[in-house]
Amino acid sequence: MLVGKYEQNIDAKGRVSIPTKFRAALGEIFVVTAGEEKCALLYPVEEWERFMERIAADFDPETRAVLMRYVQKSSAECSLDAQGRVVLPPQLREHADLKRDIVIVGEQTKVEIWSADNWNDYSDEKFDAAEMKKLLMQIGM
């Protein structure tokens, strides 16, 4: 299961140590891509295939072709090294402003990798305690 938040560092070669709890869920090979927010996303292959199937099913042929190319141009198939690290491609590190301090967040079916600054900005803007409490109460939590 992909849940939790971890603070890590990215090294000069673009390597990120993936939390042990995420490694099995991601599998030996997974897909990394640019998130719509300023983050990188890691998808287990099965989830990536479901995502691609939704694009194929939900759009007309012309839109589908454009969207597939757009998504695939910033995606890469990756695997972990012997130390449990992944090398993030330079264009994804640039997209997400990943330089040193990072935050890795489990999002149930995928993993997000944020720069610590971008994560803190997002959290400050979106995680209003009163609003979160109200929403959680709506679902009985």
What CATH number has the domain bearing residue 70? 3.40.1550.20
Predicted TM-score (pTM) of this structure: 0.89
Whether residue 125 contacts residue 39, with contact meaning beta carbons closer than 8 Å, is answered with no
Domain total for the chain? 1
Taking residues 69-92, report their average pLDDT. 93
Check: CB of residue 84 under 8 Å from CB of residue 18: yes
Give the separation between CA 45 and CA 119, rounded to whole angstroms.
Answer: 25
Give residue 106's domain range. 2-138
pLDDT at 133 over 90: no
**132 pLDDT more than 80:** no
Whether pLDDT at 127 is above 90:
no
Task: Give the angle 82-84-85 at the CA atoms, nearest 5°.
Answer: 105
Predicted local distance difference test score (pLDDT) of residue 1 = 78
Instruction: Give the pLDDT confidence of 11-62 residue by residue, as tens digits.
Output: 999 999 999 999 999 999 999 999 988 999 999 999 999 999 998 898 999 9
Examine the pLDDT at 78 and tell me if it is beyond 90: yes
Burial of 92 (C-beta count, 10 Å sphere; 0-12/13-18/19+): buried
